[in-house]
Amino acid sequence: MASPSGVLSMSKLIKPLWGGRLRNTVNVFGATLTSRREKSSLTPPPAKYGGRHTVTLIPGDGIGPELLNHVREVFRFSCVPVDFEVVHVNSSLATEDDINNAITAIRRNGVALKGNIETIHTMPPSVKSRNNLLRTTLDLYANVMHCQSLPGVQTRHKNIDIMIIRENTEGEYSSLEHESVAGVVESLKIITRNNSLRIADYAFRLAREKGRRRVTAVHKANIMKLGDGLFLQCCREVAAGYPDITFDSMIVDNTTMQLVSKPEQFDVMVMPNLYGNVVSNVCAGLVGGPGLVPGANYGRNYAVFETATRNTGKSIANRNIANPTAMLLASCMMLDHLKLHDHASSIRNAVLTTMNETRLHTVDIGGQGTTSEVVQSIMRFIQSKGQLTTEL
């Protein structure tokens, strides 16, 4: 990168480029809510050291390191007042020292941007998923994914606009398994009233704040009558306090069929942990794939941003063909969380313009562009709008 000496004057805030329901994107990406049952709202950490924010950066595995390097490149070029504290997590180690260092850094900084950390299933059962440890230790109870049709991306279904709220700390991800007798394994699914009420209230508050009209609870209470039955009952209790929002429920297997046949029927969806993993991947596929959709994990005190589907992308790592869109949009959500809205809008609009107007696409959405070519196009657009930048 060239030195910041050659700078351009700051232009006015770039307006959103698309209309209709997609106009809500700028507001939704970066939404942070806290349950009414919480004592205080989640607020970003204050800027420090000359108005700059420090953010924990966890490169992760697969395509994570190269995509986050591009995020840092765009941030430097756009003069974003964010400094990254890089913490590497080695997914092949049995000890938890590295993930504990990352958790400590997030507690120190309040915010993180991360690539997905591989969970190696052949390691001993005592070795827990690093991603899961991070979410549960920091109590990042709400995973938020805004799945929407993006301009310039050809898909079977049009005008998809679904918000998925996933409980992030319990359910099948409780990591409680044992072999009761030889050849018989019990894996415990934990559903609690407090956490079910908390995530349901988060979903309804988010729906009201964003002008949404319907919340759908996804469950399997016809089979898991106690566990999912409790989750569904908690959703109904919370729904009673939001008479302005329509509430319904749907069994998870029917939900996946309905998503691929009539996705327009869904607005806001709330669900336990495992169903959220399945549904979020289905929805990402509906709008073009995992390279397009950002995600966020919110708790009372901390926020961690990443791609929505949490894929490592090992098969395409270091080949300069990964789609940078999801990670860049996740970084924009982070900037909105830090109240750096001008920078978030500038980068987000550049990403979407490159996708829609220049039609420069990576191979996953039918193009031939490389990762670096897409990123260079994004930076040229930012520069063309007169934003304060360093030289290309």
Q: Which residue has 């079977």 as its token pair?
A: 156
Task: Tell me which long-range contacts 248-252 makes (C-beta under 8 A, separation of at least 24).
Answer: 248/214, 248/215, 248/216, 248/217, 249/216, 249/217, 249/218, 249/219, 250/216, 250/217, 250/218, 250/219, 251/218, 251/219, 251/220, 251/221, 251/222, 252/218, 252/219, 252/220, 252/278, 252/279
pTM over 0.85: yes
Q: 322 - beta bridge partners?
A: none
What local confidence, expressed as pLDDT, does residue 133 receive? 94
Closest CA to 272 of 219, 350, 336: 219
Strand partners, 305: 113, 296
Q: What is the pLDDT of residues 144-201, one digit of tens each?
A: 999 999 989 999 999 999 999 999 999 999 889 999 999 999 999 999 999 999 999 9
pLDDT of 92 reads 87
pLDDT value at position 259? 98
Q: Would you state the pLDDT for residue 120?
A: 87
How far, in Å, CA of 269 to CA of 200, rounded? 10
The pLDDT value recorded for residue 391 is 65
Over the chain, what is the mean pLDDT? Answer: 89
List phi, psi (to 5°) of 180.
Answer: -65, -45
Mean pLDDT of 102-108: 97
Which range (10-14, 75-79, 219-223, 364-368) has the least confidence?
A: 10-14
CB 335 within 8 A of CB 344: yes
Tell me the HSE value of 20 on the side-chain side, using a 13 A CA sphere.
10
Which of residues 123 and 368 earns the better pLDDT score? 368
Report phi then psi at 53, rounded to 5.
-100, 145
What's the pLDDT score for residue 126?
80
Q: Residue 230: its pLDDT value, please?
A: 98
Give the separation between CA 194 and CA 199, rounded to whole angstroms: 9
For tokens 């969970």, what's the residue? 119
Which residues 6+ apart lie within 8 Å of 387 measured at CB? 8, 10, 11, 14, 78, 346
Residue 277: pLDDT band by 50, 70, 90 thresholds? very high
Query: What percentage of the chain has pLDDT greater than the value 90?
Result: 78
Confidence at residue 28, expressed as pLDDT on a 0 to 100 scale: 41
Our measurement of the distance from residue 153's CA atom to the centroid of its chain's CA atoms, rounded to an integer in Å, reads 20
Element (DSSP H or E) covering residue 112: strand 111-114
For the segment 334-340, the average pLDDT, to the nearest whole number, is 96
Angle at 130 (CA atoms; ends 336, 274), nearest 5 degrees: 80
Q: Residue 16 phi/psi, 5° resolution?
A: -60, 145
Task: Determine the average pLDDT of the residues in 117-124.
Answer: 87
CB 255 within 8 A of CB 218: yes
d(CA 370, CA 70): 12
CA distances from 14 to 151, 321, 325, 334, 365 (A): 17, 28, 19, 18, 26
pLDDT score of 392: 61
* pLDDT at 141 exceeding the cut of 60: yes
Terminal alpha carbon distance of the chain:
7
The pLDDT assigned to 2 comes to 43
Encoded tokens for 381: 């657009």
Distance CA 42, CA 56 (A): 17
